[in-house]
Amino acid sequence: MEKGRKRIVGYVLGLISIGFVLLTISIFVFPHSFIDLAFSQEVQEFQNPFLDSLMKLVSWFGNSPGSSVTVLSGALLFLIFKYRKEALFMLLTAASALVSTLIKILVNRPRPSEPLVRVVQKANQQSFPSGHVMFYIVYFGFLTVLMYHLKTIPKAVRIIVAAISVLLIFTVPYSRIYLGDHWFTDVLGGFLMGMLLLYLLSYFYFRKPAK
């Protein structure tokens, strides 16, 4: 049973890795895809000031200094309540920013620009992959894993934190496209790489139980 589960996990990770490599190659060959443009136009079809503000709020946790505040506050809370190992691993989620930056430099894909899309919030770094999506998958994904695993935390707290984390994970890809910061393939690449990093982080966390 255990071997079969490990084999399935290996297959899934392999497919995700192959998918990311193929996606990266396709962006090198076709940096401007009609699929990306069509997706952005569809997402940006309905626009209003309230939605602009809401999407900016969703993306805040991945902006600077929002991401630093999010990581440090999460680690500090775990440390205050004597979850030292969890605090350390929450700090390690920040490594996703380094991975994202390295890939962005290598791929060097330009950001979406006007008049192709409406740019609500201008970003500086390259476009592929979405660093926000990667960070949300790793940070809020790992936080969800901890809420499932740490039964010593009150159930109501675990449910609320996990629900908010999952909500942010699923809304941030939409917000990045809506704000004109990324193409669809950028957020897809961020999702795939984020899943790989989340598995890696979770693997080392569960490898040796905390005292």
pLDDT of 1 higher than 60: no
- Confidence at residue 71, expressed as pLDDT on a 0 to 100 scale: 96
Q: pLDDT confidence of 30, banded at 50, 70, 90?
A: confident
Burial class (CB in 10 A: 0-12, 13-18, 19+), 62: buried
- Answer for the pair 135, 97: CB distance below 8 angstroms, yes or no: yes
The number of beta carbons lying within 10 Å of the beta carbon of residue 187 is: 25
Q: pLDDT confidence of 25, banded at 50, 70, 90?
A: very high
Q: pLDDT confidence of 98, banded at 50, 70, 90?
A: very high
Between 9 and 146, residue with greater pLDDT:
146
- Angle at which helices 155-178 and 131-149 pack, to 10 degrees? 170
181 in helix, strand or coil? Answer: coil
| Number of domains the chain contains | 1
pLDDT of 210 higher than 80: no
What is the rounded average pLDDT for all residues in the chain? Answer: 92
| Residue whose pair of structure tokens reads 């990770």 in the numeric block | 13
User: How does pLDDT run across 60-95, given as a tens digit for each residue?
Assistant: 999 988 899 999 999 999 999 999 999 999 999 999
| Residue whose pair of structure tokens reads 């691993």 in the numeric block | 89
According to DSSP H, which parts of the chain are helical? 2-29, 34-43, 49-59, 66-80, 84-92, 95-107, 131-149, 155-178, 184-207
| Residue whose pair of structure tokens reads 């809420």 in the numeric block | 147
208 in helix, strand or coil? Answer: coil
DSSP 112: P
Average pLDDT over residues 103-112: 92
The residue count for the chain: 211
Residue range(s) defining the domain that contains residue 179: 2-207
Going by C-beta distance under 8 Å and a sequence separation of 6 or more, which residues neighbour residue 8? Answer: none
pLDDT of 123 higher than 90: no
**The token pair that represents 35 in the structure block:** 């699929």
pLDDT of 33 higher than 90: no
Between 129 and 29, residue with greater pLDDT:
129
Average pLDDT over residues 132-154: 96
User: How does pLDDT run across 113-122, given as a tens digit for each residue?
Assistant: 888 899 887 7
Going by C-beta distance under 8 Å and a sequence separation of 6 or more, which residues neighbour residue 23? Answer: 185, 188, 189, 192
pLDDT of 162 higher than 90: yes
User: How does pLDDT run across 4-16, given as a tens digit for each residue?
Assistant: 778 888 889 999 9
- Answer for the pair 205, 165: CB distance below 8 angstroms, yes or no: no
